Structure 1
Amino acid sequence: MHANAQYLQTLQQVFGFDGLRGGQQQVVEQVLAGHSSAAIFPTGSGKSLCYQLPALHLPHLTLVISPLLALMKDQLDFLKGKGIAAASIDSSLTYDESREVMRSVKAGETKILMISVERLKNERFRQFISSVPISLLVVDEAHCISEWGHNFRPDYLKLPAYRTQLNIPQVLLLTATATPQVIDDMRTKFSISPEDVVVTGFYRSNLDLNVLPCKEEEKPSALSHVIQQAPKDQPTIVYVTLQQTAEHVAANLSAKGIPAKAYHAGMASEDRQRIQNGFMRGDINCIVATIAFGMGVDKADIRSVIHYDLPKSIENYSQEIGRAGRDGQASVCSVLANRESVSVLENFVYGDTPDLNAIRAVIDEIGATPSGNAWEVMLNRLSRECNVRQLPLKTLLVYLELAGIIEPKFSYFADYRFKMSVSVDHVLSQFDGERRQFVDAVFRASPKSRTWHTVDFEALWQGYQA
C-alpha cells in the first residue's frame, strides 16, 4: 500500500489526475512490482501514462521505442510541460544537441529517453546506451513487432535481442490494435506472462459505424453527399488505398466546393508536414489520405472518418477509425463498400508474399559471396532482381541476421535528396574537367519534384560508368 500511495501522490501532484482508469492501474502496479507487461487499450485511453508514471518511481532510465518522430514530439511536449526530465535522440537534433542529451542521460538527469528502433542499428549509440543502466524498455505501437500485425516493421523483430544485449529487466508493450494472434505473438517474443497482459476492449460508444453500399462509379457522388450532409467544415479524414486515388478524390471534392487536400507517401516531406500542420490547426478540414496519414495525428475533434476504399484489414480499420472522436464527442465512421475493390486488396496480399524461388534467389545471392568478404547490397536493386517486395525482403534479412547467418557492419543511405539554394549553372561553374562532368551527371540523374531533387543512382550508374 505504501508504494501505491507514492505513485498516487505523483499522479496527482505531477500529472494532475485524481485517479487512474480501469486498465491503467493494473498495468502501472504490474510494472512497479517488477513485471513485464502489455497494455492493449483503445485509442485515447491513456496508454502513455502507463509508462510515464512508473518511470518517475523506477531507479534508472526508461527507454521508449516510438515509430514516428511526430509521436515523440507530442509526448515530449506533454512530459516537459509537466516538468519531467525527458528527451529524444532523433534526426532533427544537431550534433551538439545529441551530445548534450547523451550527457544528461549518462549523468542520470534524464528519466525518459525516446528513440526510433532504427537508432539501435547505430553501433556508436548501442555502445553509449549499453553503458547506461535501464529500468524499463517501452515499445509503443508494439503490434509493429508481429508479422501478423497491420503495421509490421522488420526492425522491431530485433527488439528482444537488443533487450537482452542491454540487460533491461522489464518490458512494457503498448498498442491500441491487436488480434489475439498478434497479442500472443508479442507476448511470446518478450516472454510476458499471460496474466500480465491487460486488454480493456475496443468498444467506443461515441463512434457511429456504418457501411454504405455503392458501385465503384457511384463513389465520387456518394462521398461528396456524405460530406455535404454533415455539419459544415467539420474535421474529416477520407482514407483511400492508392496515392493516385488520393490526388484524384481530393481534386474532385475541391471541384465540388469541398476544400480537400491529398496526403500520401509519394509527396515531398515538407508538403506532407505543411498539410498535416494545417489540418491540426483547423486551416484544412478535409484530408484525403493513404495510411501514410495516421499514427502521428493526435487531433481530438475529428468528427468523421470515411473509407473511400475498403480498409486492408479489420485491424487497419480499427486503428484508422480510432482517430475519430478522441474528445469523447459523437463521430461518424463510414465505409463506401462494394465487391469490385476486393481485388485491389488481394493484389496487396499476394504481392507481399514471395514464392520459394524468390527466397532461394536471395539466399543464393548471399551464398555466392566469397567467405570472409563483405556482401554489399542495395535493397531496391536486390528486391527487383529477386522479385521480392522490400518489406518481405527486409523481414527475410532480419531473420537471417537473428540466426547469425549475416551481420550488419555499416549501412549506406538509401535515398539522397537536395534542394537548390543557387542555380545549377552556378554550381557547375565552380568545377572544371572531369569533376564538372561528374557533378553535371549527378544533376542530370536527379529529377526535381516541386522543391527537392532525388538522386537516381541507377540512372547515374548507367550514364556515368566508365
Structure 2
Amino acid sequence: MTLWTLLYPLKGKVTVMLIKDRKKTPAIVGELTLRSTNAGPRPLRFLVSKDKKQDYRSPEEFIELLRRSERILITRQGDAKNHKKIIEMLGGFHLTGEMVDVCRFCLLNKEFNFVNKKSISHQGERICETCAQEELKRALRNSQCHYSDEAIQRIFDVLNKTKDLDRTIGMLNPEEIDSEVTRYDTIASKEDQNPYPISKLPISGQFKKSLLKKSKNLLPVQSIAVRKGLLKGNDLLVTSATATGKTLIGEMAGIENILKKKGKMLYLVPLVALANQKYSQFNGKYKDFGLQTSIRIGSSRIKTRKTENMSRSLDTDIIVGTYEGVDHIMRSSKADMLGRIGTVVIDEVHMLEDEERGHRLDGVIGRLKYASPGAQFIYLSATVGSPHALAKHLDAELVEYEHRPVPIERHLIFCPQQSKLRIMTRLIREEYNQVSSKGHKGQTIVFTNSRRNCHRLANALPITASAYHAGLANPERKKVEERFASGKLPVVVTTAALAAGVDFPASQVIFESLAMGIDWINLQEFLQMLGRAGRPDYHDRGVVVLLASPDKTYGGGQAMTEDEMAVKLLKGQMEEMNLKYGQEEQEEEVLASVAVTNSKADLNYICTKMVEDIDLNSIVNKLKKYRFLTQKGDGIKLTRMGSIAARHFLSASRAFLIRDAVLAGQDPIEIAANLEFFDAVYFKFAPQISAALNVNMPSRVFQGAALDIVFEGDNLSQLEEKIRDQLFEFATDFLTCGCKESPYCGCAEKNFSEMIIRMRASGRDPEKIAARLNEKYGISAYVGDLYGYLDGVIRNLDAIEMMASAHSKTDIAKQAKDLKKSVEAGR
C-alpha cells in the first residue's frame, strides 16, 4: 500500500489529506492549525474528518503520519505565508516535502488529483478533466438552450481537444466566435504527384492551344480520366469533389469527338438554371472553334423577347439540356432528330436516387444508349454512395478521386435562431475582407430552406446580397451569376434545391438552415452544398459553417433537432445507392421507351441498360390492358392513347383523367387548370395581417388557414385599407363558389390557375403577370415559377388536343390548339 500526505496551505490553517494507493478520494481529510514556538512553527491542533465524524488527534499523531508517508506533497496553490511555515515545520522534524500542482476544484470538494500542462485550462489555472466536465455540465444546465445528446457530445469533444474550458464554454455564447473551437475538422487537399501534361494530349491543335492558355497540366481527376481511356472512347463514371475539374472531362471527350467528326455532344443536367449556365459557357467558349450550341429545357415553348435569342435548334454541335428536355424529344418519337451523337455527358448522375425524377434519368440513359449505340457516355458526380456498383450498372470505367483541390474547413456553431443573422453578417464581412493569394476576395453562399427566406435574409443582411433560386427568371439569375463572378457581390442566398452544379466561385458556404422546405437535407445534398466552398483558381481554402439551433425543427413529424442533425451530417457516411421504382414509374419508362422502338427485343435491350430492374413482361401486359400498347409477335407499338401518355410524361391515371374530361366536353382551359394548379403564390402582407388580427396567417395563399381567414372575412375591417381591398378582391374573384366544402373544394386553386393561363394567352409576359398579381391581390409569385407552370400548361394542352382528336372531339381539339398557341406566343 502506498501512503501519501497532501498539505494544502490556506490562510490560518492547512488542509491535510491522507492518500492511499493514489486514489482520488482521500482516506482521511483533516485540518491542521500551526503555532509559533522558539523552535519554529509546530502543530497545534489536528482535526480529522472521517465517515462524517470529526475528532481531534494529537499533534504527535500528525507527525507520525508524516513520518510514515512515502511522499509529503505540498500544493503550489494556497496561502504564501502558510507555505513557508509548512516548509519550516517539516525542516524542524527533518522531513522534506515536494511542491505539486493539483486540481483546486478537487481540493474544494475534499478530493485529490494532479494537474499538469496537459490538464484543462480554466481562468488562468489548470483543473482536472473530471472537474472541467462538471463545470461544463453546469454551464450547459444554466444556458438558455436545450442541447441534443449529439450536440453535448460534440461540446465535450471540443473540451477534450482544446483542453480549454473557457473557450469551450464560449461555444454556448454564439456572439463570441472562436474559429479554433468551432472548427469541426479540416478536409485536406493533396498535390498531384503525376500530372498529365496538356502538351502531350492526343487532341486537336486548336483545342490543345485553348487548354494551354489556362494551365500546363491537367488536374488530378482529369489526368486519371485520360489514363483510363477518356480520349479512346471509353465510357467513364467520374466521381470527384466539386471544383476538381469534372466538367472539363466531359468537354474534352465531347469537343474532341465533334472535331474528329464522330458526332455531336449532348450535355444533360438536372436543373434549368444549370442548363442556362452551361449554355452560356459553351456558347462563349467554343464559338471560336466554329461550334454552335443550343439548349433544350422542358418543352421549351414559352416565347418572350428575353428568351428568343437562345438557340433551341437540334441541328447544332452541342446540345445542352435538362434530362426531361432531351427525353421529351425521344418520347415524341423524334430521337432521329438529335442526329449523330458522339458523346453523352450526364452531369449530377447521382440524381438517379431522386424519388421523383430518378426513374426518368435512368430511362433517358437507356433510351440514349439504344438510339446512339456508338456514343461515348461520361457520367459525372461529386457524391455517389457506391461508385463501383454504379459503374458496373452503367458499363463504365470508374474514375474516382477523393481529394479536394483546396483544403476545406468545416465549422459548427450552436446558436439560437435569432442570433443567426448577426453571426452570418460577421462571418460574411470577415470573409469578404480576405484576399486570396490568387487576388480574389472571399465571397459567401448562404443556404436556407425556402425561396421566401432567400429574399428575407438577402434584404436583412447589412451587406450587399442577392437572392438566387429557381423561381427567378433566367435573366435575373444570370445577372446575379455575373455580379458574383466579377467579385462585386459579397454574398448570394440560395436554396438547397440549387446546390447541384450551379457554379458560384465562393470561398465560404454558410448553412443558415439544414432543411429543404420542411424536410432535413440528406447527406448527399449536404455534401453537394458544402462542395461549393473553395475553388482552386480563386481560393487558397474553403470554409463551411453550419449554424445549428438547439430545439429547432422544420416539420411536426421530425424527431431530430437542428443541432442533432448538424452533428449527424458532419459525421455521416454515404449510403449505398438503392433504386426502387413503383409500378407507375416502371409503366412510364416502358411507354417512353416504346416511343423509340417497335421491337420487343429492342425494348428489352433498353431495359437492360437501365440501372433499375424492370419487370418488362408484367408491365407490358398492364399497358396492353390499359390499351396503351399493342403487340404482335416481336412487334410492339404505342396506341394513340399510349403515345399521348408517353410524350407528355403522363401516368396512366392522369391520361385517363384527361380522356374522361375530354369525353365529358370540358373546356380545355378547365382541364389544364385541373391537371396542375399554380399554387406557388404568397400573400405579400401576411406578417401585417397576422399582427393586426392576432392570428398566425400563413404566407402561402392556398394553405388552409390562410383561406379560412380570407373566406370568413369578419375581421378584415381591422386591416389597412389597401390590404383589406386586395383581400376582398381575392375573395370576390376566387372564393364565391357554392360548393359545400368551400374553401377546401379546390375551386379557388382551379379558378386562380385558369386566370394565370388567360392572362398569358391575352399577351402578358410572366413578369407582367407577377406584377398584376402583386398590384391587384397583394400576392407575390416568382417569375421562374410562372415560366415553369406555363410550360407545363402547354404540354398538357398538347395532350388535351391529341386526346380530343383521338376521340373525334374536334371542337375541343381546336380550342386546345388555339389556346396552346396563345400561351406559347403570349397573344
Verify same fold: TM over 0.5: yes
Give the SS at the match of 2:410: strand
- Partner of 1:212 in structure 2? 413
Residues 326-365 of structure 1: pairs in structure 2 closer than 5 A: 326=535, 327-341=538-552, 344=555
- Partner of 2:458 in structure 1? 250
Identity of matched residues, %:
17
Asked if residue 60 in structure 1 is aligned to residue 263 in structure 2, the reply is: yes
Give the SS at the match of 2:324: helix
In structure 2, give the amino acid aligned to 1:30. G
CA–CA separation in structure 1 for the residues paired with 2:221 and 2:501: 24
- Partner of 1:164 in structure 2? 369
Paired residues, what number? 376
Q: Match for 2:526 among 292, 314, 317?
A: 317
- Partner of 1:38 in structure 2? 237
CA–CA separation in structure 2 for the residues paired with 1:262 and 1:116: 23
Cα deviation code 1:55-93 (max 9, x no counterpart) = 324523332223332232244135415525242233487
CA–CA separation in structure 1 for the residues paired with 2:618 and 2:391: 18
- Partner of 1:423 in structure 2? none
Whether the 8 Å CA contact 2:294–2:310 is kept in 1: the answer is no
- Partner of 1:22 in structure 2? 220
Give the SS at the match of 2:544: strand
Whether the 8 Å CA contact 2:343–2:378 is kept in 1: the answer is no
Whether the 8 Å CA contact 1:171–1:190 is kept in 2: the answer is no
Closer, same or farther: CA 220–146 of 1 in aligned 2, 3 Å: same
In structure 1, give the amino acid aligned to 2:415. C
- Partner of 2:378 in structure 1? 173
* Unpaired runs of at least 5, structure 2: 1-199, 301-305, 434-440, 516-520, 561-581, 589-611, 629-641, 649-671, 680-750, 760-767, 774-780, 794-827
Whether the 8 Å CA contact 1:65–1:117 is kept in 2: the answer is yes
Aligned-pair Cα RMSD in Å = 4.5
**Taking structure 1 as the reference length, what is the TM-score of the superposition?**
0.65
Cα deviation code 1:101-125 (max 9, x no counterpart) = 51xx5xxxx3x43332223212587
- Partner of 1:13 in structure 2? 209
Closer, same or farther: CA 345–60 of 1 in aligned 2, 3 Å: farther
In structure 1, give the amino acid aligned to 2:239. I
Whether the 8 Å CA contact 1:213–1:336 is kept in 2: the answer is yes
* C-alpha displacement of 1:153: 4.6
Q: Match for 1:449 among 747, 770, 776?
A: 770
Asked if residue 308 in structure 1 is aligned to residue 512 in structure 2, the reply is: yes
CA–CA separation in structure 2 for the residues paired with 1:242 and 1:217: 17
For the pair shown, which has the larger CA radius of gyration, 1 or 2?
2
- Partner of 1:382 in structure 2? none
Q: Match for 1:135 among 342, 345, 355?
A: 342
Give the SS at the match of 2:209: helix
Residues 55-204 of structure 1: pairs in structure 2 closer than 5 A: 55=254, 56-57=256-257, 59-67=262-270, 68-77=274-283, 79-80=285-286, 83=289, 85-90=291-296, 91=300, 98-99=312-313, 101-102=314-315, 105=316, 110=317, 112-119=318-325, 120-123=327-330, 127=334, 129=336, 132-147=339-354, 153-181=358-386, 183-184=387-388, 186-192=390-396, 196-204=397-405
Closer, same or farther: CA 132–250 of 1 in aligned 2, 3 Å: closer
Asked if residue 236 in structure 1 is aligned to residue 444 in structure 2, the reply is: yes
Larger RCO: Structure 1 or Structure 2 (Cα < 8 Å, ≥ 6 residues apart)? 1
CA–CA separation in structure 2 for the residues paired with 1:307 and 1:178: 19
* C-alpha displacement of 1:39: 1.0
Q: Match for 1:289 among 494, 505, 515?
A: 494
Give the SS at the match of 2:551: helix
* C-alpha displacement of 1:237: 1.4
* C-alpha displacement of 1:345: 10
Closer, same or farther: CA 201–345 of 1 in aligned 2, 3 Å: farther
Whether the 8 Å CA contact 2:276–2:295 is kept in 1: the answer is no
- Partner of 1:378 in structure 2? none
Closer, same or farther: CA 168–414 of 1 in aligned 2, 3 Å: farther
Closer, same or farther: CA 64–340 of 1 in aligned 2, 3 Å: same
**Taking structure 2 as the reference length, what is the TM-score of the superposition?**
0.39
